[in-house]
Structure 1
Amino acid sequence: MSENNIETNPIIEQESKLRTFKKPLIIFWSVFLIGVLLVILFFAGVSNGTFGFMPSFEELENPDNSLATEVYTVDGNLIGKFYFENRSFVEYPDLSSFLVDALIATEDVRFNDHSGIDIRGLGRVAIGLVTGNRSAGGGSTISQQLAKMLFPRESFEKKFDIVFRKFREWVIAVKLERSYTKEEIMTMYFNKFDFLNLAVGIKSAANVYFNTTPDSLRVEQAAMLVGMAKNPSYFNPLRRPELTLDRRNVVLSQMVKYDYLSEMEFDSLKNIPLEIDFQKVDHKRGMAPYFREYLRASFTANKPLRNQYPSYAYQQFHKDSLEWESNPFYGWCNKNVKVDGTPYNIYTDGLKIYTTLDSRMQRYAEEAVVEHLGLDLQMAFNREKENHKNPPFSDDLTDEDVAQNIETSMRRSERYRVLKKNGMSMDSIRLVFKDPTKMKIFTWKGERDTILSPNDSMLYMKGFLRAGFMSMEPQTGEVRAYVGGPNFEHFMYDMVNVGKRQVGSVIKPFLYTLAMKEGLSPCDRVPNIPQTFILPDGSPWTAKNSTDARSGEMVTLKWGLAHSVNYISGWVLKQTTPESVVEMAHKMGIISEIDPVPSIFLGTSEITVYEMVGAYSTFVNKGVYIKPSFITKVEDHKGNLLAQSVPRKREVMDERTAYLMTNLLEGVVQRGTGVRLRFTYGLNNPIGGKTGTTQNQSDGWFMGITPELVSGVWVGAEDRSVHFEGIRLGQGANMALPIWALYMQKVYADKSLGLTQGDFEKPRGVSINLDCDDDSNTNELIESENDDFF
C-alpha cells in the first residue's frame, strides 16, 4: 500500500479528528468535575467547620438564646422581667398574620418555595453587581438572616473572611431548613431580632413600641417593625421617626406588590402616623418594683455563710439561714439544676414566675401610699418644719448632731465608696460633697433638674417620709400587695421585708393573746392603775399613760387595748412573763430579736412589716400561723412545671383564743385609736386593727384585719431624728392608718375582686359575752396613743 493511500485513509483521518476533539472535551469535563468536586469539598469543609465556626447538630436543634424571666401576677398580668436581653418567646399562632406577610413581602418573597438559598435572588444580586444597579435588592433569605442572628461568631478583618462567612450562612440556612419547618423558622426570626431600646424579640417590641402583644398588632404597626429589620439603628422610631415612617410605607407598598394588601388599603394606611406608645424598659419603674427586686434577690441568693456577714449582722445571717432551710424559693436558682447539670439562671433561662400579687390590689396599694404621703402627710410635715432651726431634723438635735448625721450618710454613699477606692483623701472627698453639681431630685410632682451639692441633696432626701405596706389573704398566706416605699428609683430601701423599725403598740396583741389563752376574756375588768416592775439592777420601772382617762377605775381588757393603755398592758404582763410574750411572738412568725424585758409592750423592738402582717393573720386564720408566700409556681419557657408553692403553717392557739383576739382588735376600730376608719373613711364593715406610735413619733404603724385580708402599714423617715414634733400628727392613727383606709376603700369599690365584707367567723361552742358595758356606755373617744410614755 502506498504512502499516499495511508495518508488519505478516511478511517485514520476520522480517528485523528476524534482524538483532537476528545482532548478538550476531556479537559473540560475534568475541570468541571474537579470544580464540582472542589465545590463539594469546599462546602463539606464549610459544613465541618474547616473554614470557621459551624454549629453542631445539637446547637442547630437547640440554639442558644438568652431569654428573659417573666414575672406574672395571680390575675395573669406581666409585671416585670429579669434579663441580660429583654427577650420573651412567642409561638407562631401568637404572631399577627400582618407580621408574617410583611416580612415575606419585604425580605424573602419566595420564602415558602426555597430550601434556604434563593437562586433567583442570588442571580438578581449578581446582575446588580455587574450592572452597578444597587436597587436590584439583596439575596439573603429569611433563613440566612436567621443563621446570621443565631450564630454571630467572630469579627472579620479580611474580605475573604467575609466571603467565607457568607458561605457558612448558606450552609447554616440549609441546615436550618432541614431541621425546622417554615413556621418555626419564621417564629425564630421574630423571637431573635433585636428591635433596639431593650426590645429584643417581637413580644418585647410590640410592648415597648405599641404597648400591645404580637397577635394584636395592626398592619401598619407590623409594617413598621418589619421595616426596622433592614437597619434598626437607622430606622429607629424614637430617633428618626420620619425615616421610619418612610420605611414603613415601603413595606406596605411591598405588601401591595405581592397581593397582601390592596391599593385602596395602602392609600389609607400610608397616611397614618407612627403613633408610638413607647413603654420604657426600666426595672426601677413599673408595677411592684420593690417586690420584683426582693424576688430577684431571693431567687439568686447563695447559701448563707457566717463569714460572709459582718460581725454585727448576726440577725440578718440568722434570717437568711432560716429562709435557705425553710423556703424552697429562697436561692431557688442555686438549689435547682437543669437537665445539663448547670444551675438555673434567672437572667437567661426564660423562667416564668407566677406570683401571688394581684395587679388590681397592688395598684390600689401603690396609689394609697402616694395619695396619703404625697398629697397630705408630707405637706403637713413640711409646714411643721418651716420655722425649725435644722429642718428636717427635730429641734432636739444640735448643729453638731446634724453635721455628724450628714457625715455618716456621706460615708455610706456609693459616691464616697468610689472616691475612697480611687485613693482620694478625706479632705478632698469632703470638698467633693460640698461642690454643687447637676442632678435630678425627687419631688411628689415628678423629677426635677437642679443644682445641689451631694451634702445638700442628702439633707433634702432625708426630709421625705416613707412607707411600707403589705396585704395578704390570711387563709392562704398569699400576699396580694407589696409596697416597699414611695418611689423605688429614689428610695430603694425596702421597708416591707428588709427594713426594720420599732413597732410601738402593735406588739401589744401578742401580750393580750396570752391573757385570752389563759382563760381571760375581752370584757374582764382590771384596775387602771400604775404597774411597777423591778428591773434586774433592782430599780423600779413604771410605764406611764398619756392621759388620766378612767384612771383608778376598773376597766375591761377590751377598753384597755382599744385605747392602748399602758397601765392595762402592765397588768396583763404581770399575769405572765416577758419571756412568754417573746415565745408567743416567735410562734406567730416573728423572727426578729425581741428583748424579754418589762417594757416589751412599749414596742421598742425592731420588726418588719412582713413579719407583723404574717403574725396578725394568725388571729383571722383561727389560730393557725401561715407563712406569707409570694409565689404560686415556676415554669420553664416551654410551660413545664418546675416548682409549686406549698403552704407552711402551724397551729399557735385554739380557735377560741383567736376569735377573742379578733374581738379585742375590733374594739380598737369601734371606739379606740382606730375609730377614724368609721368616721373619716366610712368603713363600717367588720374590721379589727391596732395603731402603734414609737417614742418621739419616729414611727407610725397600723395593722388592720378583715375576714378576707390582713394588711400592715409603717410610716416614718430614714432617720429617727426626722419626725413630727407632736402626737396629733405623729401618731400611727394619722401617719399610717389612712394608707390602710384608702387601700381598703379602693379594694371594696372594685367588685371584680369579690370581697364579701362579711363578719369574722365565730367558732362553735364559744358563748362568751363580748358586749362590754363600759365600751358601749362611755362617751369617751381617745385616739391618742400611749406608746411613747416611759
Structure 2
Amino acid sequence: MSTKSKKTKKKRSKTKKRGTNITMKIAGLLLVIIIGAGSLFGISLFKGLPSLEELENPKPNLASLVYSEDGVLLHKFFLENRTFVPLKSISKWVPKALIATEDVAFYQHWGVDLRRLTLAMGENIIKGRTRWHGASTITQQLAKNLFLTQERTLSRKAKELITAIELEKTYTKDEILALYLNTVYFGSGAYGIEAAANTYFGKKASELTIPESASLIATLKNPTAYNPAKNPSTALGRRNLIIGLMEKEGFITHAQAVKAKATPVTLHYTPSTHHGLAPYFTEYIRQNIKTSSQLDGVNVYSDGLTIQTTLDSRMQRYAQEAIAQQAAALQAEFDKRWTCSDALKKQFIKESPQYRELVNEEGVAPATALSKLLADKVFVKNLLHDKSRVQMALISLDPTNGHVKAWVGGTNFSPDDYRYQFDHVWQAKRQPGSTFKPFVYSAAIDQGIPANYRILDQPLALRGGDGSVWMARNSEGQSGGMTTLRDALRRSLNQVTIRLAYQFLTPSEIISYARRMGITTPMQPNLSIALGTSEVSPLVLAQAFTTFANNGTWSEPLPVTKVLDKRGGLITEHKPVSHFGLDPASNFVMVTMLKDVIDRGTGIAVRARYGFDAEAGGKTGTTQSMRDAWFAGFTPQLVTVVWAGFDDERVHFTSMSYGQGARAALPAWASFMKKCYDDPELHLENRYFTMPDNVIAVPISAGSGDQGDLFNRDVYVEYFTPKGFARYRSGELNNTPPPAQQESDNPQDSTKTQTAPTPIQMPVLTPQEQY
C-alpha cells in the first residue's frame, strides 16, 4: 500500500471517530433533555396529586339542612346542594344503573380498565386528538371530581390514573360507589344522589324506583340535555336506554325492563333555588346562627350541618295561608280606595334610581328629569304599584319555652330581590299603638289600682315644657263618663288610658314595667308612650305577650334547639330562657281583662265572626293615620302577633272600616289560631289560665261598683290582687282630688266626681295621638 493511501485511510479514521464522538454527544444531550423533561413532567405530575390525608379524608362541600320540629326539611344552605348518605341509604337500582352505563367491569378492575384504556388511546392517536377522550372508570371519574380539574390533557389524565389506583388501595368498591354518588352533579343545582332524588322526585334516595334511578343516572352524561324537568323527551330516551343496559347486564329481568320503560316520568320538581316552606324564618337563622361561640370556624354553606328548629311545618302552612288570604283582601280594598297625591307621587319619583341616574349620571336638570319620568305612564304605574303593596307579618310562640311555631315575615319573599327579603317580624320596628296598653294597665294593677277602679272618659289637655298642648282622644272621637279600667281596656279608650297614666304612673314606671315584661327595644320617656308611640317589632311584642300567657314569666324566642355536624355530633345546643315579668296575681287580673277584649270588646270578631272559641286574651292596635294595624293574642299554649301595613309609612290605610287592627290584622290571627286548634295532630286543647291562690274573686255590681249579690243581673265577678283588694275595701282611692290640668267642655264633667292622687310633674310631650 502506498504512503498516500495510508495517509488517506488514517485521515478517514480520524474523521469517523470525530463523527462518532459528536453523535454520542448529541445523543447524550438528547438523553439528558429527555430525562430532564421527564423529570419535570414527573415532578409536575406528582405535585398535583392529592396527599394520603386528602385521599383518606375527602372534603366535598356539603349542604346544611334546616329541619322543622316535626321533621320536615325546611331549607338547605349550600355552595353545592349536597347531602351525604351511605350506600345502604341509596336505592339498590341506582348503583346498578350507574355500573351498567359507565363501568360494567367496575368490580373486576383495580381502578383502571386496561382494555378500555388501550382502545381509547388508539382512537385518540388515530384521530389526532389533542384533548383526551373516553375510557374513564367510575373510580377515575371520582378521582377527577374530588381532586382534579376538568381539563382534558395528557398530564391530567396521568394524574387521574395514578389517583384512581390510590383510591382503590384506600377504599372498598362500595365505598367508592358511595363517594361517587354523593359527589357527582345531577343538574338543577343538585350535587349527590340524595339532593337529586329530592330535587326531581321529592323523595329520599333510598326510595327511588328503577325508572327514577335510570332517569337520574341519565343526567350524568349531560345535566342540561337530559334534565327530565327541562327536556323531558330526550331525558326519557336516555332513561330507557339505560334501562336496556341494566337488562343487558342482568341487573333487572326483561319483565322489569318492559314495565320500567312503560312508566311515565312523574316529577315532583323542586330546584335548589326554591326557598322552602318558611323563607323568612330560615333567612333569619342564616343571619343569626353564628352568634353562638361554638360555631366559630364552622361554614354553614359547606360543612353539612343539621340545624334543628322549633318551627312546626303544619302551623307554618296555616300561618302562610292566613296571611296570604288576608293580605289579598286588604290589597283589593286598598286599591279601590287609595289615590296617590301629586306631591307624594313627585317625592316617590325623586327617590327612585331612575331619577338619580338621569340627574347624577346623565346630567339632566332636576325639573326636566321629573317631567320626563312623570310623562312615562308605565314607569309611574309600576312605581306606585311597588309603593302601595300591603305587607303583613305573623309570629307565633309557645309561651312556656319560647319555641317559634310559625313565622311569616312578609307577603312576597323573593330570593332575587333584596327589597322583598325584608323581614317584618324582626327587622321592622313600628309603633304598636293600643297593643302596648296592657303594659300600662299591668303597672297600675300591680301597684294596687283595681280593675274596677273608675276614671273619667274625657279628653285631658296637657301642657308640655315647651308650651305646647297635647290632648289624646278616643279613636271614634267620642267621650263618656266614669269608666272602669276593665271597660277602658276592653274598649281601648285612649282618654282613660292617658288619665290613668297621668294620675298614677310616670313614664319611667311604664317603661320599667314594659322592660320587665319583655319589651327590649328603646322607649321614649314621655306620657304618650302609654298609647304605644315607642316602636317595637312583632317579635319583641310577641315575646312580651308571653308574660300574660305564662303566669307572669316571659320567654325569649327560641328558633333553634341544636346544631349537629355532618356526622351527627352535637356542636351546640340551646335551652329555653325565661325571665320574671309580673307578679302572677297581677298577671292573672290582666289576663281576665284581656279575655274581655276578645269576649266582648274590640276583638269580639274572633268569637262572633271567625268562630274561635278557645280560652284566649288579646289586644287590638291601630296607630295614627292607620299606618299600622295590630292584633296580639294568646292562649296558654300559643302567643301570636299579626301586623299589617306598608313598607313606606307615607302610604297607609284609608279608612277604619278596613284599616284598624280589628279589621286588618285580627282576621289573619283568628284564621291561623282556629286552624291550629282544629288540627288534632297538633294536640292543642282548650285550657284555662291558672289562677293563683292569692287572687280574690268578688261579685261586683256593674252599676254601683260595690260588692253585690251574685244572682243580680248587673253583677259580674271581679278579680283583685291582695293589694288591690285592700285598697278597694279601704276606700283609699276615693278621697283624692282630680288632676289640676283637667280641661273639658263636656257637661258630664260637672255631674261626675273624678278622684285622683296629687298630679305628677308634667313631662315634655310630643304632639302624637295613637289609636
TM-score by length of 1: 0.79
Amino acid at match of 1:479: V
Aligned residue runs from structure 1 range 656-695, under 5 A? 656-695=585-624
Q: Give the match for residue 491 of structure 2.
A: 563
Deviation at 1:182, TM superposition (A): 2.0
**Greater shift after overlay, 180-189 or 232-241?**
232-241
Aligned-partner Cα distance in 1 for 2:368–2:700: 64
Change (3 A) 1:379 1:777: farther
Match of 1:293 among 283, 297, 300: 283
Amino acid at match of 1:296: R
Q: Does 1:379 align with 2:379?
A: no
Aligned residue runs from structure 1 range 356-755, under 5 A? 356-374=310-328, 376-385=329-338, 391=339, 393=340, 397=341, 399-408=342-351, 410-411=352-353, 423-425=361-363, 427=365, 453-489=378-414, 491-547=420-476, 551-553=480-482, 555-573=483-501, 574-755=503-684
Alpha-carbon deviations, 1:313-367, whole Å to 9, x = none? xxxxxxxxxxxxxxxx53x4xx4467xxxx2222222222111111111111011
Q: Give the match for residue 254 of structure 1.
A: 245
Match of 1:106 among 101, 105, 109: 101
Aligned-partner Cα distance in 2 for 1:789–1:127: 86
- Say whether the 8 Å CA contact 1:663–1:770 is kept in structure 2: no
Structure 2 gap ranges (5+): 1-33, 706-712, 717-767
Change (3 A) 1:753 1:418: farther
Change (3 A) 1:771 1:177: farther
Match of 1:165 among 153, 156, 160: 156
Amino acid at match of 1:477: G
Aligned-partner Cα distance in 2 for 1:167–1:432: 66
Match of 2:136 among 122, 134, 140: 140
**Greater shift after overlay, 232-241 or 56-65?**
232-241
Change (3 A) 1:565 1:240: closer
Q: Give the match for residue 690 of structure 2.
A: 761
Deviation at 1:73, TM superposition (A): 0.9
Match of 2:214 among 198, 215, 223: 223
- Say whether the 8 Å CA contact 2:399–2:549 is kept in structure 1: yes
- Say whether the 8 Å CA contact 1:701–1:737 is kept in structure 2: yes
- Say whether the 8 Å CA contact 1:477–1:626 is kept in structure 2: yes
- Say whether the 8 Å CA contact 1:696–1:788 is kept in structure 2: no
Aligned-partner Cα distance in 2 for 1:565–1:171: 82
Change (3 A) 1:45 1:171: farther
Change (3 A) 1:520 1:436: closer
Q: Give the match for residue 298 of structure 2.
A: 344
Change (3 A) 1:118 1:546: closer
Structure 1 gap ranges (5+): 1-37, 157-161, 300-328, 386-390, 438-450, 780-786
| SS, match of residue 769 in structure 1 | strand
CA RMSD of aligned residues (A): 3.2
| SS, match of residue 606 in structure 2 | helix
Aligned-partner Cα distance in 1 for 2:686–2:359: 57
**Greater shift after overlay, 645-654 or 750-759?**
645-654
- Say whether the 8 Å CA contact 2:355–2:373 is kept in structure 1: no
- Say whether the 8 Å CA contact 1:506–1:603 is kept in structure 2: yes
| SS, match of residue 278 in structure 1 | coil
Change (3 A) 1:169 1:50: closer
Change (3 A) 1:674 1:455: same
- Say whether the 8 Å CA contact 2:85–2:182 is kept in structure 1: yes
Change (3 A) 1:138 1:153: closer
Aligned-partner Cα distance in 2 for 1:634–1:233: 35
Amino acid at match of 1:744: M
Amino acid at match of 1:149: N
TM-score by length of 2: 0.81
Change (3 A) 1:560 1:428: closer
Alpha-carbon deviations, 1:482-519, whole Å to 9, x = none? 11111112732211100111111011011011011112
- Say whether the 8 Å CA contact 2:200–2:267 is kept in structure 1: yes
Deviation at 1:470, TM superposition (A): 0.3
Q: Give the match for residue 279 of structure 1.
A: 270
Change (3 A) 1:44 1:71: farther
- Say whether the 8 Å CA contact 2:87–2:175 is kept in structure 1: yes
- Say whether the 8 Å CA contact 1:436–1:453 is kept in structure 2: no
| SS, match of residue 164 in structure 1 | helix
- Say whether the 8 Å CA contact 2:627–2:645 is kept in structure 1: yes
- Say whether the 8 Å CA contact 1:698–1:724 is kept in structure 2: yes
Q: Give the match for residue 232 of structure 2.
A: 241
Q: Give the match for residue 783 of structure 1.
A: none
Amino acid at match of 1:568: V
- Say whether the 8 Å CA contact 1:416–1:429 is kept in structure 2: no
Q: Does 1:82 align with 2:72?
A: no
- Say whether the 8 Å CA contact 2:563–2:571 is kept in structure 1: yes
Alpha-carbon deviations, 1:401-436, whole Å to 9, x = none? 33113322x15xxx7788899x44465998599679
Aligned-partner Cα distance in 2 for 1:377–1:770: 43
Aligned-partner Cα distance in 2 for 1:192–1:461: 42
Count of aligned positions: 670
- Say whether the 8 Å CA contact 1:522–1:770 is kept in structure 2: no
| SS, match of residue 571 in structure 1 | helix
Deviation at 1:243, TM superposition (A): 2.1
**Greater shift after overlay, 684-693 or 98-107?**
98-107
Change (3 A) 1:251 1:593: same
**Greater shift after overlay, 528-537 or 90-99?**
528-537
Q: Give the match for residue 308 of structure 2.
A: 354
Deviation at 1:567, TM superposition (A): 2.4
Q: Give the match for residue 267 of structure 1.
A: 258
- Say whether the 8 Å CA contact 2:629–2:660 is kept in structure 1: yes
